Structure 1
Amino acid sequence: MSLGDDPEGSGGYGGTGQTRTRYPEGSGGDVYGGARRGGRSSSRSLVTVVGVVVLLIAAIAFANRGGDDPSSSTEGAGAAGQPKASATAPSGTKPVQSTPGLIPTGYAHNAQGAQSAAANYAVALGSTGLFAKTTRDSILQAIFTPSRVTSLEAALDKAYTPQFNESLGLNKDGSAPTGYTFVSRTTPMGTKVTQTSADDMTVAVWCGGLLGLAGQNSTNPVTSSWFTITMKMEWTGNAWKIVTHSQKEGPSPVPGDDKASSADEMAKAVEEYGGFTYAR
């Protein structure tokens, strides 16, 4: 029902063209809820309002209690796989420390911290920095467990070759040609913990992504995609680090009928709208 169809939302029945007919009490013929019953209706309305207020206060008290209960966490799930009611209750723990231009750090040693780390690491893994050798190595050293960094550097050096960059329309070093804006951005939609222990977590991050070259005559225009990155993480060096990670397509929504923006509009949007730090 739209707002225009709601009698109460439109300020009563005035102007709707409807005529309200009142039948004798007990007739059951009034489709709008029965005839007025004198002074008793106001008393019942007052009781209803008081009842709603009491329930609201009780609900707020219950929610606040959930945040203080150590057994309440984001690690579990309710019936049918739904998150617990206390999943987003405040924990009192600062989830992440952020410095502009750097990958966020300072995650809590719990499921909340692991999810915050995974979301921000997904952003780093989908950034333009991965296409240039220097910035790629810095990203790997920041988010992967030390024992994995050397082998990953070698593996990604073989994947992100000058020829691969040129196939995307980039320069050999991963930079964008003059007059073009390279777009590679990942946006986490949500996270979930699939396996957990004190020092090991497996976190799945559902993401939307943008990739392409914005500019006139670009042969690789910016396109969108949906994917899920699963990270096996461990608590090492007083921080959550990735041990292994994998990626699969979806879940993907039905594409909308939005008109695609021009190359100039896309380039301007990427330059003007910065990203976020994510925290569970």
Structure 2
Amino acid sequence: MSQKNTEARRSARDRMQEERAAQEAKARRMRQFGIIGTVLAVLVVAVVVGVLVMNHKSSSYSATDAPKGTVGTNNLVIPVGADAAPSTLTVYEDPRCPACGEFETSFHGTVNKLLSEGRIKVQYHVVSFIDRHDQGSGSKNAANALACAQNIGKFHNFHDVIYANQPDETDDAWADKGKLITLAKQVPGLDTPAFESCVNGNSFGSWVTAVQTDFDKSGFSSTPTILLNGTSAYPTFKNEQISEANLVKWVDAANKGKTPAVLTPASAAALASPTAGNTKP
């Protein structure tokens, strides 16, 4: 690898670490604000209760409200890859999260290769807390659009398109659902009337809220949170810094003596790369 490429990868890792540190600082601030908010909430408890009662129907969630093919408790997880793959990469991401964008830019090729070879499966938790911190609706809209794509078997391709065209965190571009529908044109077979109706109608809004609630209870406070077989792999795994080469090495070590999974035609098709390119300005 050239010195230039090495420095570029190091720079990307540095940006991811800096962004993660910034998110953790923001999370600490928000927890402090939460203490103040709790005191204020006591003063207006009657109003809050009234709002909760009025919104109970719209905020309720059951596993039957989830997109097709989701797994885990209450169907909050989107699985990608062969079920029989010997290792599991767990990924918590927010569509507006810039550190998640850095992770996907640096690692999506390696992750996709490991998936296509049956060496790992990935379990995605699509969270949306940046809307709450930075205001807006782009995270929730994008998470719902990803759920709409999952519902028709196009999640993985659309996921890659979303992160390849991610706006700046402070630009709530995906508040405009039309931009998400336009991006869907990059995934063959995704841009259909049913998909557009799902995006515009926020069909999986209750699922998006439930995924975020689950993240709030998880003990994790920032994204991306990456686990390899349940152990944190971002930014380090067993005292080693994450990199593409190290991720492959870690997976190989975890899989030693185990047989890679054979992908079904449907699983292989779901991993096929979209044909269109990056349209990010």
Higher RCO, 1 or 2 (CA under 8 Å, sep at least 6)? 2
TM over 0.5: no
TM-score scaled by structure 2? 0.23
Q: Which has the higher helix share?
A: 2
> Rg larger in 1 or in 2?
1
TM-score scaled by structure 1? 0.23
Q: Which has the higher strand share?
A: 1
